[in-house]
Chain A
């Protein structure tokens, strides 16, 4: 008998442990769902953690109103298959009620407006733990994130005063009004995620596979030409063969030129690529510490 787990099985086991720990330590947890592969992986792992019971918490989608239609369609099907409740936090509503103001100009994005809509949704639903699919390999500020990350009553992160996290003992104790962000797939890398998706045959939105789409280039990033982005006079949209490595808001998610139309080809492409997946995210390019700044305010 070989008492040995592969690294993917060990990562899976660690994530399942975290999901169960959240269910046990918190009263009203929620899984933040963006429609991207990481949050799809999260639902897959959560399903495994509680089988044969259903996932014992709802999914929260902060909808910028600028999501790809493919994302929304996929989301609704997934919800039905899992039999879980979906809660939508709407950025459009936050704009309409004056909670936030829409950015103006060519690079206008609703990305940072998500923070207010997210915090509002967490507060009004009294969620005490919000699980997110952030990974430590994604970005330098995320490399310092805990599995159980404490947020004060304003939903803010204080990176200099984080609780030490030892062994596999997680301290979710908190005062009234505070909440936790929990990151069950902290230790996964992009390649781990893809290998696991391939191994498990997890279904993904078509956006991840190579397809033809009208796109244009801005600051070296390929963006989808849609009615939510205003083209500059110098920019022209043309048909390209692309796929998306991450999926977020249509205004800030860059595509890559790719012929990879199967999971095998995607894994091969990810394994040989020389640019990080967030390299295509214009929201991270705003400054050197853009992610840390957003995280402190409550971004996930």
Chain B
């Protein structure tokens, strides 16, 4: 792997999670293979294993797609079924790739991969321009509020590295993207196969003044991807040691979902509405002064109040919405369609509840972005706007404002399967 990274450098690295999306043949696997290969993250035994498999199948070149297709069925059918996670790092950053399949029937995987991503990498074949899947993937990236989008216009070698071809696609995409909710878009003309502008700058596209894909990945600013304004601390677990040393200790363990909590802060507890102060913020290494996302800490409060899993610690002057009637964009993941008036188990932060689907407002045509108000049959891979009512109040924020306190999952009570993912509007 990377040689010569010192421990000091390693202690300064941060973490970028990105998803890759593309149609079947637009070179996604080749690009990932290229990123792994050029960053020296493919090991010799991995490489020789896929080399041997490629040869046995009579393929001329080493098929880098075999690196990501791990399951037997995937190798047999030559398709990717499930989200595969890949890892590589450079001296600047560690990267987690959620590699998601491009097939229509597996949209749920794209949503899954997108849910934790800081950045989406969308591939467009320079010869074909924007296709249906480009639109679908871009829509999902905007729906899931991935903060950064990188459009890789790939196979530039097959269009003679033409600036005109690149500009045409860029313009077309920008027009389409204006209808979406995307903040930060970058375009890079590349050839994953030949390596142009992936890790090394291309010498065939002097007209392109931007940076390489790797430079973008290493330098895109992710410091403000978390919400640092609205203080939200969902209580995950109550820690009571019952030991002599910590006899009366009562700590509220959780992961900060928004804002920065400081010792001495006046806080409000939900749902009780009680006010108290933060007495101490504990970690194994000792008490700290400030806790911010995505830190896992344990809080002690000044007053001994009733607080348990599913409750939330917030600031008095900045509280989330508290309601039982919630509007959502829902992506459906199950063969069994959504039941109108049906009851589902719901999970939101550390809270469990039941809910009923009160109304389907419309279904999205994710290729045209049209709202289909007549069609209320929500099946596998459909995205719809719905209204639900929960058995108890949830404390939530708009998903656009906070991806953690603004998201829910729906579970079928009969099968326990996760059947839907919802983003609160």
Question: Which positions in A face B, CB cutoff 8 Å?
Answer: 1, 3-14, 16-17, 20-21, 23-24, 47-54, 136-137, 139-144, 150, 159-160, 162-169, 171, 173-175, 186-187, 189, 191-192, 195, 198-199, 264, 267, 270-276, 279, 288-289, 292
B347 touches A171 (CB 8 A): yes
> A164-B112, A168-B255 in contact; A141/B71 too (CB < 8 A)?
yes
Q: Please, which residues of chain B bring their CB within 8 A of the CB of A17?
A: 236, 255, 296
Q: Please, which residues of chain B bring their CB within 8 A of the CB of A164?
A: 108-109, 111-112, 333, 418, 421
Per the 8 Å Cβ criterion, residues 268-308 of B in contact with A are 282-284, 290, 292-296, 298
B292 touches A3 (CB 8 A): yes
Q: Mark B227-255, 1 if CB is under 8 A from A, else 0.
A: 01000000011011111011001010111
**Interface-side segment among B153-161, B368-376, B404-412:** B404-412
> A10-B14, A23-B237 in contact; A175/B228 too (CB < 8 A)?
no
> A160-B71, A164-B112, A173-B411 in contact; A276/B14 too (CB < 8 A)?
no
> A143-B86, A171-B416, A275-B43 in contact; A7/B245 too (CB < 8 A)?
no
A271 touches B296 (CB 8 A): no
Alpha-carbon distance between A47 and B284 when the two chains are bound, in angstroms: 8
Per the 8 Å Cβ criterion, residues 1-36 of B in contact with A are 1-5, 7, 10-15
Question: Nearest B residue to A18 by beta-carbon distance?
Answer: B296
With an 8 Å Cβ cutoff, the count of chain B residues facing the other chain is: 88
Alpha-carbon distance between A150 and B239 when the two chains are bound, in angstroms: 27
> A13-B295, A160-B73, A168-B404 in contact; A6/B11 too (CB < 8 A)?
yes
A52 touches B243 (CB 8 A): yes
B241 touches A48 (CB 8 A): no
Q: How far is the CB of A80 from chain B (nearest CB, A)?
A: 16
Residue from B290, B296, B403, B408 within 8 A of A13 (CB atoms)? B296
Q: Across chains A and B, which 3 residue pairs bring their CB atoms closest together, nearest first?
A: A140-B70, A7-B15, A48-B284
B353 at the interface (CB under 8 A from A): no
Q: How far is the CB of A197 from chain B (nearest CB, A)?
A: 12
Question: Nearest A residue to B3 by beta-carbon distance?
Answer: A272
Residue from A20, A136, A140, A195 within 8 A of B87 (CB atoms)? A136
Alpha-carbon distance between A137 and B272 when the two chains are bound, in angstroms: 44
B296 touches A16 (CB 8 A): yes
A52 touches B249 (CB 8 A): yes
B134 at the interface (CB under 8 A from A): no
Question: Nearest A residue to B333 by beta-carbon distance?
Answer: A164
Alpha-carbon distance between A49 and B296 when the two chains are bound, in angstroms: 8
6 more CB-based (< 8 A) A-B contacts, given A143-B68, A199-B11, A264-B7:
A7-B15, A7-B93, A10-B15, A53-B240, A54-B241, A173-B345
B171 at the interface (CB under 8 A from A): no
> A159-B71, A159-B82 in contact; A8/B409 too (CB < 8 A)?
no
Q: Please, which residues of chain A bring their CB within 8 A of the CB of B348?
A: 169
Question: Which positions in B face A, CB cutoff 8 Å?
Answer: 1-5, 7, 10-15, 43-46, 49, 53, 67-73, 75, 81-87, 89, 93-94, 96, 108-109, 111-112, 115-116, 223, 226, 228, 236-237, 239-243, 245-246, 249, 251, 253-255, 260, 282-284, 290, 292-296, 298, 309, 333, 345, 347-350, 403-404, 407-409, 411, 416-418, 421
Most buried by A among B69, B404, B418: B418
Q: How far is the CB of B48 from chain A (nearest CB, A)?
A: 10
Q: How far is the CB of A114 from chain B (nearest CB, A)?
A: 22
B70 touches A144 (CB 8 A): yes
A271 touches B3 (CB 8 A): yes
B7 touches A198 (CB 8 A): yes
Residue from A51, A141, A163 within 8 A of B282 (CB atoms)? A51
Most buried by A among B12, B87, B93: B87
A191 touches B1 (CB 8 A): yes
Q: Please, which residues of chain A bring their CB within 8 A of the CB of B237?
A: 20, 23-24
B84 touches A175 (CB 8 A): no
Q: Please, which residues of chain A bring their CB within 8 A of the CB of B111?
A: 164, 166
B236 touches A166 (CB 8 A): no
Alpha-carbon distance between A270 and B295 when the two chains are bound, in angstroms: 28
> A6-B12, A23-B237, A167-B403 in contact; A275/B44 too (CB < 8 A)?
yes
Q: How far is the CB of B59 from chain A (nearest CB, A)?
A: 15
Residue from B4, B44, B255, B409 within 8 A of A274 (CB atoms)? B44
> A143-B84, A160-B81, A163-B418 in contact; A276/B45 too (CB < 8 A)?
yes
Q: Please, which residues of chain B bring their CB within 8 A of the CB of A4?
A: 14, 223
